[in-house]
Amino acid sequence: MDHFNFINGHLHVEQVDVSAIVEQHGSPVYLYSAQTLKNHYAVLQNAFSALAPLICFSVKSCSNLSVLKLLVDQGSGLDVVSGGELYRALMAGVTADKIVFAGVGKSHEEISYAVDVGVFLFNVESEAELLRLDAVASAAGKRVKVAIRVNPDVVDAGTHEKTATGGRQTKFGIPIERAYELFTPKRYASVDVVGIHIHLGSPIPSAHTYLSALDKIEEMVNRLQAADCPIEFINIGGGFPAQYSTESNPVCSLTETGSHICGRLQELKRLGLRFIIEPGRSISANAGVLLTTVEYIKQGWDRKIAIVDAGMNVLLRPTLYGANHVIWPTRFGDFSGHWTALSESVREAGAAPLEEVDIVGPICETGDHFALGRPLPVLEDASLLAIFSCGAYGMSMASQYNSRGRPPEVLVEGAHAKLIRRRETHDDLIAHERCGLENT
Ligand code: LLP
């Protein structure tokens, strides 16, 4: 369901040959397909249609204003986790009544900002935060709605330990048993506690993990309703699947996940509850690729090494999580789609010999690699490579480490490519430090 295809052996995003993007904007560069973003939004909407949830795209997964605006134009709301993300969301044109504000450590300033603009719902993660929010809202003379993020103590075995958030050992949410008393009606002056929020981790490969958590949430709703606590919303969070390897069709598993969750929540829907989801990667991951160019090939002691012009500062996921992204040269072979590119059938097809190579970046760290011993067509200096499924947590986690400017971002729609963020310059690298050199 994405729009990255090899046409006559050359990788295209929608109707644009990706090499043309590099000619115009240089390398490395992040490239997004507008149609893919729209498709994934629609697939998700369909998958969850039985619940008709408010979809709040998770800004942290892909924060570029133009991407946010595109999704807002599709009807999406936005999930933000900081004052900066809230600012971005508003700049992208979303109305405050479609913004949910999550995060374990909202500052006084961030809470005031969100109260002032009137966000739809605060996902609150501690009693102390609730008291702070109540005080800020009271001072501003406003009433705010809150969902309590509960920690259901449910962990998906397939989630990386650094992105599992539903377990008791993490900092996230409030243990269910402790959360009950926060729902007591009229306990706060300016806060209405009307929802329950969970986010189990990212990604959550198994729908059963959601179902285990939802069992506990359903029990909680029953108990709260029996105690006359007015529960209006269940926010299921994000973590829905995207495609990173060659194994399965992402849209199927997204659809399956949606239908399992919808099936499980029908009873609560009948009781009049409304639903929110906060998808990030399931919309954006497969809508973006990172293009990077081989600077040098060298022979190590026992391995071939290709040094490319993007490093862990540009794409951190492989270094941080050992994430495995499909990598393939942009001008090699006439494959029907990149998901088959690493499969045995391609090797057997004898399209060309593959050889194992380490794909590494230029950063001065041993962990700065995108793949080790990866079977790829024989690479040369200046080969252009596509690293797939980089639309989520790619650019949004990029840094200037080693004083390397962040790359540009380009959004393609049909035959039209638009620069949506320019490459950072040397001057950008020092812009915030000039003050230190000024005479006072
Ligand atoms: N809602 C909340 C409260 C979250 O914390 C997150 C992600 C999401 C929604 C969206 O999750 P998604 O649908 O994108 O999986 N940097 C990691 C992922 C960290 C996710 C943080 N929270 C990665 O590159 O995989």
Is 279 flagged in the annotation as binding?
Answer: yes
Rg of the chain (C-alpha set): 23
Catalytic residues: 364
pLDDT in tens, 65-116: 999 999 999 999 999 999 999 999 999 999 999 999 999 999 999 999 999 9
Degrees (nearest 5) of the Cα angle 289, 293, 298? 130
Which helix (H) or strand (E) segment is 328 a member of? strand 327-329
- The pair of structure tokens assigned to 306 is 């290709």
Residue of the CA atom closest to atom 14 of ligand 1: 280
Atom of ligand 1 nearest to the CA of 202: 15
Question: What is the pTM (predicted TM-score) of this model?
Answer: 0.95
Atom of ligand 1 nearest to the CA of 163: 19
CB of 199 closer than 6 angstroms to any ligand 1 atom: yes
Substitution candidate for ligand 1 out of 43, 56, 61 with most atoms within 8 A of CB? 61
- The one-digit pLDDT tens for each residue of the chain (440 residues) are 579 998 888 999 999 999 999 999 999 999 999 999 999 999 999 999 999 999 999 999 999 999 999 999 999 999 999 999 999 999 999 999 999 999 999 999 999 999 999 999 999 999 999 999 999 999 999 999 999 999 999 887 788 888 888 889 999 999 999 999 999 888 999 999 999 999 999 888 889 999 999 999 999 999 999 999 999 999 999 999 998 876 555 555 889 999 999 999 999 999 999 999 999 999 999 999 999 999 999 999 999 999 999 999 999 999 999 999 999 999 985 444 434 444 444 444 445 678 999 999 999 999 999 999 999 999 989 999 999 999 999 999 999 999 999 999 999 999 999 999 999 999 999 999 999 998 87
Which helix (H) or strand (E) segment is 294 a member of? strand 288-299
Residue of the CA atom closest to atom 6 of ligand 1: 238
Give CA–CA dist 436/4, Å, rounded.
46
Determine phi and psi for 304, rounding to 5 degrees: -95, 140
3-state secondary structure of 410: strand
Q: For the sheet containing 16-17, what is the strand order? A: 4-7, 10-13, 16-17
Substitution candidate for ligand 1 out of 40, 43, 60, 104 with most atoms within 8 A of CB? 60
Atom of ligand 1 nearest to the CA of 240: 13
Strands, DSSP E only, in 73-120? 77-80, 99-101
Structure confidence at residue 391 (pLDDT) = 98
CB of 203 closer than 6 angstroms to any ligand 1 atom: yes
pLDDT in tens, 19-68: 999 999 999 999 999 999 999 999 999 999 999 999 999 999 999 999 99
